[in-house]
Amino acid sequence: MQDLTHRTKIRLLIVDDHAVVLAGFSAVLRIRDGLEVVGSVHSGEEALAFVEGCPVDVLLLDLHMPAMSGIETLLALRKHHRRPRVIILSSFEPDEEICRAVEAGADGYLRKDSSCSEILEAVDAVYLGGSYLPQWIATRVSERKFQSTLTRRELEILEMVSKGLTNKEIGRAIQVSPLTVRNHVRHIIAKLEVGDRTEAATVAIQHGILMAYHPVPSTCRDMVLDASLEKSEVVPGGRRVPGHTRYVLPMQ
């Protein structure tokens, strides 16, 4: 962590509906060189009013508050002409609300029982334009981003790509043309910002989009065969699909 004593003081505002938490953070941070606690308030509404009238560099914001929540406060701060950097405070981990707060604009996260050194490190990191997030939060936010970006059809195709199916095989399985599948795969690659279909499957697995990666050997796939076959032809071990001139080969 860089030395704060040789820089302009970082102006902090602490927001928490619990007086004990406010007193604790204030007591720890007021005596630190390079930091100035410019205020401590009990609600999101008070925080917004304070920021309107006083410059704030970093906001320590309680996530769970009874009136205006931390997420609602974050969303309101987006409209502010000089939005402070924000570190979310929470007693609960893991917490889906923390991920939502990051998506709403939080730059960092701290447990309320974090050590003094952790608090100072987090404040310095976000003040300098970075983030301060545990790996599980960064991973979960990334996963949520990808899941919300990909359509249901793209997720379905990505699952089959991860199992090693070709565009032709995927097209047969979901009753579309290989060209349509190819276009879907291109969209998936673009949305995941990867180089090819293999990397798309790998990234999806790493981020929890796909539960597992088990390429399926071609001899073990359910194959839907376009029946250019004549009706008189026999498919060994196969069965006709009612209403279709095609056959399905069972798993070997």
Among 122, 142, 162, which residue terminates a domain? 142
Do 16 and 110 fall into the same domain?
Answer: yes
- Whether cis (ω within 30° of 0) applies to the bond prior to 215 is no
pLDDT tens string 1-44: 444 444 578 999 999 998 888 888 888 888 888 899 999 999 99
Cβ burial of 205 (10 Å; 0-12, 13-18, 19+) is middle
Which residue, of 77, 111, 142, is where some domain finishes?
142
3-state secondary structure of 233: coil
* Buried-exposed string 83-102: b where 16+ CB fall within 10 A, e elsewhere: ebbbbbbbeeeebebbbbbb
Do 55 and 169 share a domain, yes or no? no
- C-alpha 241/C-alpha 156 separation (Å) is 22
Could you list the residue range(s) of the whole structural domain that residue 50 is in? Answer: 4-142
Inter-residue contact 26 to 39 (CB < 8 Å): no
Dihedral over alpha carbons 171, 173, 174, 179 (to 10 degrees): 0
pTM above 0.85, yes or no: no
Tens digits of residue pLDDT in 191-211? 887 889 998 888 888 777 775
**pLDDT for 61 beyond 90:** yes
Percent of the chain clearing pLDDT 70 (strictly above)? 76
